[in-house]
Chains A and B, each alone.
Chain A
Amino acid sequence: MSQVKIPVDLILSKMADNAEKVQSRAHKASEVLLGELDTDLAKTPYDVVYREDRVQLKHYRPRTKIRYRTPLLVVYALINRETMLDLQPGRSVVERFLDAGIDLYMIDWGYPTRKDRFLGFDEHINGYMDDIVDLIRERNETDKINLMGICMGGTFSVIYSALHPEKIKNLVTTVTPTNFDTKKGLLHVWMEHIDVDRVVDTFGNLPADMMNFGFLLLNPARLMIDKYVGFMENIDNKQFVENFVRMDKWIFDSPDLPGEVFRQFVKDCYQGNKLLKNQLEVGGQRVDLNRLTMPLLNIYGKYDHLVPPEACEKLIDHVGSKDTENLCLNTGHIGIYVSSKYQEAFAPKIASWLKARDGMPERKPRSIKTAATSSAAVVQPISSKKKASGKRSRNTTEEDAFQVEPASDAKAMGNAR
């Protein structure tokens, strides 16, 4: 057997160095942790313009001139909170949309209680969502609105657009599961055999803690160990600590999931894959994707472990629309919204896609409370591949999708991107 060579002296000296660094870090960390930390989320100003039960509609105050004919409604999932789109100033999809001149509304689903356990797809889609869409149409004196859905909110948006196509002008889906017949994502594997009736009948709503534990189990090595090792290594960095705490707050700020929604989502979607087969029924109506005739932009993450590309990319092949685009980004489920790199491109891409289809605004915003400033996200429309007639369907990678002018005034706004 050959002689084993272990650099004991080097390892020991490195450990001694590390011990000194740890001591100094601990000293600085105490200053950081005991000092004032800014860990608030969702600071962009908004007005609540609708409230029913636990649900409310946020209307964001414009930061610049409205440049779109049609307002945009963002529908977040019922899992976790919509605050992810507005984590902090300078790292906010909401800010990007506002700076692009979009009149922005967003649904806050609130925190379901036991009394909400009976509310299913129908009550959320044909109830709350439809009421909200009607309210926006009335407020903005428009027949149609633009709709953007995120994750489960995207699935709701697809269903809504198929049931009420006359009210939707453009549809944007992001990390939206529509094809559940795949074994790629762990959720798909786990949900296949779950006894959802037993869970819902016992718990009423799906408890958030149970859900969070399930999400942690998707990657325990990273989410339960490495993440906190990283935190300890940067505990003396105030900005890192603030961002970490903010993100951690968001991750564990989880409402319970209404029982009937969970039951329907698992049975009809994960176990039955009824949406793509046009077999899903909501409120007694069949959801026919052929009725989805408005332009559709479908964005998803290549490394998404919750909603893998296989769960998203098939949608455009099943809709009636002639103007569809798939965009796959080299990131994960959350990275699309929170990573600086993708924020730099993701929101401007949506803004430019909408602008190409929504023209210039004809109306000024009802009230602009702050002085208009130049937009941080100056968007250059993507070169159009539109044909005079026929179906315009594209699969785009991020390399050819992002043709965004650098935000020249980003530094002036103090954005840390």
Chain B
Amino acid sequence: MENKDQDPFGMMAMVNAWLKPMGELWEDMAKRSDSARKPPESQTKNSGKAPPNVQASLVAALKNCQAMASAMATPESVNAILKGSGEMPEVLLKLFQSYLGSYMQVQQNLINSIGRLGASVEAYRFEDIDENLCRLWTDIYEGEFRRYFQIPQLGLLRSYQEKANQLADQYNLLQAQLAEFLRMLSLPFSHAMQVMQEKLGELAEKGELSDDTHEYYNLWIKVLEGHFMTLFQTPEYVEALNRTVNALADFTAARDAVAEDLLSLVPVARKSEVDDMAREIFELKKRLKKIEKDNNRG
């Protein structure tokens, strides 16, 4: 009998109503299973009293389940659950808003990029290179996805899991950074191609097109070189280059940390151990040389 004060919402009744047929079902299934596996009667004459293992563990599990349901049915627990579920839509809304914001940003940038297409290329100018989608993706990754790799890990394997997460995170950042860097390196090609088209158009109009393909190549490579030289001097490029180098360094450090963990399982010296040894030798040699020089002077 359920006490109304203890179970104001009738949760126990519901759970018991569900548990009873479920218990019967599993008990029946276990019996069938046991009978199917039962050896000939002659072999089990003296061993039939104890309940079969499966049935016993099932009964125990059902009891545990009932106890848990009973605990969950208390007013405090139900209130806590209801409070949590009340907050769920708010959390989901926040998440949705955040992703929608990112998505809209991408859309906006795409529209901007498309808007710029077809605009005449002014030679050796790269003002728009900061507005690129790769950088935007990196920002979104850093703002939205990265935190999932930074969820605190617990337990015995915590440090290993943290290093693995760190590696995945740094790998993603490196990929994003490389994409941005390569995109930047591709800019001079597209600019040079557009300049070439314009120049060829002018030459064609004047009727001065050459029949020597080398001339076109030489013109293209000169224009391309000029665009690269201009790009390389821009603060945006220097910044992207530094970010790429840093991302590569961070990824390498994360990879080394995981590799060192793996190496600890096999009888091989780790990089950090070799470094320690090298430093010791370096310092010893330095001291030895100093002593040698002092001795020679003396």
A contact set with B: CB distance below 8 Å: 2, 4-7, 10-11, 13-15, 18, 114-115, 117-119, 123, 127, 186, 189-190, 192-195, 198-199, 201-204, 210, 217-222, 225-226, 229
Which chain B residues lie closer than 8 Å to A10 at the CB level?
Answer: 211
- Cross-chain contact of A222 among B217, B225, B256 (Cβ < 8 A): B225
Instruction: Taking A114-B274, A229-B221 as given, write out 7 further A-B residue pairs in contact, using a Cβ cutoff of 8 Å, ordered by the A residue number.
Output: A5-B204, A11-B209, A11-B213, A14-B213, A203-B249, A220-B228, A222-B221
- The A interface is mostly helix, strand or loop, or mixed, namely helix
B contact set with A: CB distance below 8 Å: 185, 188, 201, 204-207, 209, 211-213, 217, 221, 224-225, 228-229, 232-233, 238-239, 241-242, 245-246, 248-250, 252-253, 256, 271, 274-275, 278-279, 281-282, 286, 289
A210 to B211, CA, bound (A): 41
Indicate whether A198 sits within 8 Å of B213 (C-beta atoms), given known contacts A119-B282, A190-B241, A226-B221: no
Which chain A residues lie closer than 8 Å to B212 at the CB level?
Answer: 14
A117 to B280, CA, bound (A): 12
**Chain A nearest CB: distance from B274 CB in Å?**
6
Indicate whether A186 sits within 8 Å of B233 (C-beta atoms), given known contacts A194-B245, A221-B225: yes
Indicate whether A7 sits within 8 Å of B228 (C-beta atoms), given known contacts A193-B242, A203-B249, A203-B252: no
Indicate whether A202 sits within 8 Å of B252 (C-beta atoms), given known contacts A14-B212, A189-B232: yes
Indicate whether A198 sits within 8 Å of B249 (C-beta atoms), given known contacts A4-B204, A219-B228, A220-B185: yes
- Cross-chain contact of B238 among A13, A119, A189, A202 (Cβ < 8 A): A189
A189 to B239, CA, bound (A): 11
Please state if B278 and A195 are interface contacts (CB–CB under 8 Å). Answer: no
**Chain A nearest CB: distance from B277 CB in Å?**
8
Which chain A residues lie closer than 8 Å to B274 at the CB level?
Answer: 114-115
Which chain A residues lie closer than 8 Å to B241 at the CB level?
Answer: 190
Please state if B209 and A6 are interface contacts (CB–CB under 8 Å). Answer: yes
Please state if B207 and A195 are interface contacts (CB–CB under 8 Å). Answer: no
Beta-carbon nearest neighbor of A53 in chain B: B285
Please state if B211 and A18 are interface contacts (CB–CB under 8 Å). Answer: no
- Cross-chain contact of A217 among B232, B246, B252 (Cβ < 8 A): B232
Please state if A221 and B224 are interface contacts (CB–CB under 8 Å). Answer: yes
Indicate whether A11 sits within 8 Å of B211 (C-beta atoms), given known contacts A189-B233, A195-B246: yes
Which chain B residues lie closer than 8 Å to A18 at the CB level?
Answer: 213
Which chain A residues lie closer than 8 Å to B201 at the CB level?
Answer: 4
Beta-carbon nearest neighbor of B279 in chain A: A118
A189 to B286, CA, bound (A): 35
Please state if A114 and B278 are interface contacts (CB–CB under 8 Å). Answer: yes
Which chain B residues lie closer than 8 Å to A219 at the CB level?
Answer: 225, 228-229
Which chain A residues lie closer than 8 Å to B279 at the CB level?
Answer: 118
Which chain B residues lie closer than 8 Å to A190 at the CB level?
Answer: 238, 241
Please, could you name 26 A-B residue pairs with CB atoms under 8 Å apart, sorted by A? A5-B205, A6-B209, A10-B211, A11-B209, A11-B213, A13-B211, A15-B213, A114-B274, A115-B282, A117-B278, A190-B238, A190-B241, A193-B242, A194-B242, A195-B242, A198-B249, A202-B249, A202-B250, A202-B252, A217-B185, A219-B228, A219-B229, A221-B188, A221-B228, A225-B224, A229-B221
Which chain B residues lie closer than 8 Å to A14 at the CB level?
Answer: 211-213
Name the 6 nearest CB pairs between A and B, nearest first: A5-B207, A10-B211, A115-B278, A221-B225, A202-B249, A221-B224
Please state if B275 and A225 are interface contacts (CB–CB under 8 Å). Answer: no
Which chain A residues lie closer than 8 Å to B233 at the CB level?
Answer: 186, 189
Beta-carbon nearest neighbor of A4 in chain B: B204
A218 to B238, CA, bound (A): 12
**Chain B nearest CB: distance from A237 CB in Å?**
17
Indicate whether A221 sits within 8 Å of B221 (C-beta atoms), given known contacts A118-B282, A199-B249: yes
A5 to B203, CA, bound (A): 9
**Chain B nearest CB: distance from A254 CB in Å?**
17
**Chain A nearest CB: distance from B115 CB in Å?**
26
A192 to B248, CA, bound (A): 19
Beta-carbon nearest neighbor of A13 in chain B: B211
- Cross-chain contact of A199 among B206, B224, B245 (Cβ < 8 A): B245
Which chain A residues lie closer than 8 Å to B250 at the CB level?
Answer: 198, 202
Beta-carbon nearest neighbor of A15 in chain B: B213
**Chain B nearest CB: distance from A257 CB in Å?**
14
Please state if A202 and B211 are interface contacts (CB–CB under 8 Å). Answer: no
Which chain A residues lie closer than 8 Å to B239 at the CB level?
Answer: 193
Which chain A residues lie closer than 8 Å to B282 at the CB level?
Answer: 115, 118-119
A15 to B216, CA, bound (A): 13
